[in-house]
Amino acid sequence: MKAFAITNPGQSEIQEIEKPVPTGDEALLRIHKVGFCGGDLNAYRGTFPMQQYPMIIGHEVGATIEAVGQHVPDEFTVGTKVTLNPYQAGADDTDDCLPCRRGLRNAAVDNRTMGVRRPGAMTDYITVPHQKLYRSNKLSHRELALVEPLTVGFHATNRGQVAAGDFVMVFGCGIVGLGAVSGAAVKGANVIAVDIDDQKLEVAKKAGAKYTINSLNENLHNKQLEITGGDGPIVCIEAVGLPATFRACVEEVAFTGRVVYIGYAKEGVEYDTKLFVQKELNIFGSRNALTEFHDVISMLETGGKFPVDEVINRTVRIDEAPRAMVDWAADPSKIIKMMLELD
| Residue 85 reports pLDDT greater than 80 | yes
Q: What's the average model confidence in pLDDT over 1-29?
A: 97
- Calpha distance 252→244 (Å, rounded): 12
pLDDT category at 266 given cuts 50, 70, 90 is confident
Which of 269, 285, 301 terminates a domain? The answer is 285
What pLDDT does residue 63 have?
Answer: 98
Q: Which domain holds residue 248?
A: 161-285
Query: Distance between CA 335 and CA 328 in Å, rounded?
Result: 7
pLDDT value of position 329:
95
**CATH code of residue 276:** 3.40.50.720
Q: What's the pLDDT tens digit per position in 206-240?
A: 999 999 999 999 999 999 999 999 999 999 999 99
Question: Binning pLDDT at 50, 70 and 90, where does residue 95 land?
Answer: confident
Task: Assess if residue 186 is contained within a domain.
Answer: yes
The verdict on residue 39 lying in a domain is yes
Q: In the predicted model, what is the mean pLDDT of residues 24-50?
A: 94
Is a pLDDT exceeding 90 seen at residue 265? Answer: no
Please give the mean pLDDT across all residues of the chain.
Answer: 96
The answer on 41 and 139 residing in a single domain is yes
Does pLDDT of 303 surpass 80? no
Strands 337-341 and 312-316 turn out to be: parallel
CA–CA separation, 315 and 35 (whole Å): 9
pLDDT grade, residue 305 (50/70/90)?
confident
Measure the CA–CA gap between 35 and 259, rounded to whole angstroms: 28
Asked if residue 155 belongs to a domain, the reply is no
Number of domains in the chain: 2
With a cut of 90, say whether residue 49 has pLDDT above it. Answer: no
Q: Is the pLDDT of residue 200 over 90?
A: yes
Residues 6 and 143 both lie in one domain: yes
Whether residue 315 is predicted with pLDDT greater than 90 in this model: the reply is yes
Reported as half-sphere exposure (CB side, CA atoms, 13 A), residue 182 has a value of: 33
Cα–Cα distances (Å) from 215 to 141, 209, 236, in that order, read 35, 15, 15
User: Is residue 149 a contact partner of residue 179, using CB atoms and an 8 Å limit?
Assistant: yes
Percent over 70 (pLDDT), the chain? 100
Contact 54/147 with Cβ under 8 angstroms? Answer: no
Q: Are residues 197 and 229 located together in one domain of the fold? A: yes
Residues 300 and 259 in one domain: no
Confidence class for position 343, pLDDT limits 50, 70, 90 = confident
pLDDT in tens, 136-194: 999 999 999 999 999 999 999 999 999 999 999 999 999 999 999 999 999 999 999 99
pTM for this entry: 0.95
Domain-located, residue 315: yes
